[in-house]
Amino acid sequence: MADALHVELVAADRTVWSGEASQVSARTVEGDLGVLRGHTPLLSLLSPSLVEITPAAGAKVFASVDGGFISVAGDRVSILAEHIALGQEIDAARARADLESAQAAAGASAEFDPGVRLAQARLDAATKAS
């Protein structure tokens, strides 16, 4: 589709998802980011968070990333991270338990803890994908 973004989600061990999309949403260390066709080129650090892709055809794609980078150039979006999991690959019950454990371990600083943010992203990806 000529009016779409080409998107690639790439983890250290595999290409997780690749295809055409109309929109990508992600969270960088500077804040939330939405990418549409014609977006200004950019390279930014990702926070542990949920990535949402609206494919040109089919259901939305939800994935959790443990950080990494997002690159946007020429209607191409590359998301590179050590670990990326698609929502349908994540067990929601286990993700919920992991989030509760991470919150308990972080205590009062849970809101700012990267482990809590990643656990929340995994739970969000699992629940939104179902």
| Digit-coded pLDDT (tens) for 84-101 | 999 999 999 999 999 999
Task: Find the mean pLDDT for residues 61-66.
Answer: 97
CATH class of 5-86: mainly beta
Q: What is the mean pLDDT of residues 123-128?
A: 96
- When the pLDDT of each residue in the chain is averaged and rounded to a whole number, the result is 94
Check whether 2 has a pLDDT greater than 70.
no
Residue 111 has a pLDDT of 85
Average pLDDT over residues 31-56: 96
- Rounded CA-CA distance 14/17 in Å is 9
Query: Which pLDDT does position 3 carry in this prediction?
Result: 82
Q: Domain coordinates of the chain in residue numbers? A: 5-86, 91-129
Contact 65, 28 (CB under 8 A): no
Specify the pTM.
0.92
Rounded mean pLDDT, 49-78: 96
pLDDT at 58 over 90: no
Could you read off the pLDDT of 69-82 as tens digits, one per residue?
999 999 999 999 99
How wide is the angle at C-alpha 9 spanned by C-alphas 24 and 31, nearest 5°?
45
Query: Which string of DSSP letters, residue by residue, matches 96-112?
Result: HHHHHHHHHHHGGGGGG
Cα separation values, 76 from 22, 32, 71, 126, Å: 11, 18, 8, 26
In whole angstroms, what is the distance from residue 28 CA to residue 59 CA? 24
